[in-house]
């Protein structure tokens, strides 16, 4: 038998499932269950428990914070249901609110551990860079009115690539065994929007002259608020308040106070989690989004 435990008290064989999820984190306290507020984990567990007829625990690859979004969160659940994976996916999406979707349900071996087995994760941080805010994107972008120097931001971001102690970008008061991480990709680019944009669909959704600025980072692990701390630093670089060459000095300091502010949660998205060892990040040929395995 592949995946799961030999059986529960009823003698029904248990199966391990891999769930791939997307969600708009605006209304939630984050992935993880909290004493107060609605969590994505709680919603998925409740939906899956209805299908399975028993309490089901769902464990994710990462605990996204309140207001953070996901396009490719991965989670593990052990169920006794005999329903095929496509039916389980449909049943979950029929139960979950529309801002939480199950993109895939796949069988997995019982040894599967979403966090431990992950080879890398891809995050993006999005800014809307224009004098006027676009209402259609305010829930998933940080609105920055002053022009940003994207070339300077990209230069600063590239300095993160490689293996570094990234303690300077970690929230204070966090206890962790090691703060060294390997970053395989760290880049910044922009996407023009508005009536004159060549991207007709984006122009319809965002009918205001301006642009998105996107920071993408792929690494074998992330510290708490790491991407948001880097994003806050990159904004200061883009506005000329820090030189593009500041990142090596910040890394060497190991001091959180040497980096920029923590960027708002609403601009951050967990793009995907990679398990096969391939580089799952990188913009496509048009430079408008990631390519994930």
The domain spanning residue 208 has which CATH number?
A: 3.30.70.660
Structural domain total, the chain: 2
52-79: average pLDDT: 97
Mean pLDDT computed over 24-36: 96
pLDDT band at 206 (very low <50, low <70, confident <90, very high): low
* 67 shares a domain with 180: no
Using CA atoms, how far residue 253 sits from 165, 168, 258, in Å, is 10, 7, 7
For the segment 195-213, the average pLDDT, to the nearest whole number, is 66
Domain around 19: 15-116
Domain end (from 116, 142, 164): 116
Q: Do 76 and 136 belong together in one domain?
A: no
Render pLDDT for 244-269 as a digit per residue (tens, 0 to 9).
Answer: 999 999 999 999 999 999 999 999 99
193 — pLDDT class (breaks 50, 70, 90): confident
Please report, rounded to a whole number, the percentage of residues in the chain having pLDDT higher than 90: 77
Is the same domain home to 154 and 195?
A: yes
User: What is the predicted pLDDT for the residue at 136?
Assistant: 82
In a domain, 34, yes or no: yes
Looking at the domain assignment, is residue 194 inside a domain? yes
Looking at the predicted structure, is the pLDDT value of residue 284 above 60?
A: no
Which residue in the list 5, 8, 65, 279 is annotated as catalytic?
65
- Picking from 90, 116, 142, the residue at the C-terminal end of a domain is 116
pTM: predicted TM-score of the whole model, two decimal places? 0.88
Residues 101 and 126 in one domain: no
Same domain, 267 and 130: yes
Q: Which comes out higher in pLDDT, residue 278 or 21?
A: 21
How confident is residue 198, by pLDDT bands cut at 50, 70 and 90? low
Within this chain, do residues 27 and 136 fall inside the same structural domain, yes or no? no
Active site residue 65: yes
CATH number at residue 19: 3.30.70.580
- Asked if residue 1 is part of any domain, the answer here is no
Q: What pLDDT is recorded for position 196?
A: 58
Taking 80 as the threshold, does the pLDDT of residue 208 lie above it? no
Same domain, 189 and 221: yes
Residue 199 reports pLDDT greater than 90: no
User: Are 92 and 127 within one domain?
Assistant: no
Mean pLDDT of 262-290: 71
* Residue 51 domain flag: yes
> Residues 131, 260: one domain?
yes
Q: Would the pLDDT of 119 be above 70?
A: yes
Average predicted confidence (pLDDT) for the chain: 89
Q: Is the pLDDT of residue 59 over 70?
A: yes
- Nearest CA-CA partner of 54 in 79, 83, 32: 79
> 98 and 132, same structural domain?
no
Question: Considering the domain boundaries, does residue 289 fall inside one?
Answer: no
Q: Does a structural domain hold residue 73?
A: yes
Residue 6 lies in a domain: no
pLDDT band at 7 (very low <50, low <70, confident <90, very high): low
Q: Are residues 112 and 160 in the same domain?
A: no
What are the pLDDT digits (tens) for 120-137? 999 999 999 999 888 888
Task: Determine the pLDDT at residue 288.
Answer: 38
- Are 64 and 189 part of one and the same domain? no
pLDDT band at residue 277 under the 50/70/90 scheme = low
């Amino acid at each position: 038998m592949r995946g799961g435990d030999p059986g529960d008290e009823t003698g029904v064989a248990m199966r391990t499932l891999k769930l791939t999820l997307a969600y708009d984190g605006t209304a939630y306290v984050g992935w993880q269950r909290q004493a107060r507020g609605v969590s994505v984990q709680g919603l998925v567990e409740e939906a899956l428990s209805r299908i399975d007829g028993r309490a089901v625990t769902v464990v994710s690859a990462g605990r996204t914070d309140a207001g953070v979004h996901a396009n490719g969160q991965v989670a593990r659940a052990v169920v006794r249901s005999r329903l095929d994976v496509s039916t389980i996916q449909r049943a979950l999406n029929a139960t979950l609110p529309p801002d939480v979707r199950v993109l895939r349900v796949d069988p997995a071996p019982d040894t599967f551990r979403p966090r431990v087995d992950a080879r890398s994760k891809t995050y993006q941080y999005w800014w809307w860079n224009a004098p006027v805010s676009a209402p259609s994107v305010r829930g998933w972008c940080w609105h920055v009115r002053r022009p940003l120097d994207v070339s300077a931001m990209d230069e600063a971001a590239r300095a993160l690539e490689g293996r570094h102690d990234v303690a300077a970008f970690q929230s204070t008061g966090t206890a962790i065994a090691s703060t060294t991480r390997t970053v395989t990709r760290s880049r910044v680019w922009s996407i023009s929007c508005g009536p004159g944009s060549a991207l007709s669909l984006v122009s319809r959704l965002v009918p205001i002259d301006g642009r998105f600025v996107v920071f993408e980072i792929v690494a074998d692990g992330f510290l708490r608020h790491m991407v948001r701390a880097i994003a806050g630093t990159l904004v200061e670089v883009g506005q000329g308040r820090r030189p593009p060459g500041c990142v090596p000095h910040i890394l060497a300091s190991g001091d959180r106070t040497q980096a920029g502010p923590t960027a708002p949660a609403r601009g951050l998205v967990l793009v995907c989690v990679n398990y096969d060892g391939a580089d799952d990040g990188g913009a496509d040929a048009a430079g408008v989004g990631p390519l994930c395995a």
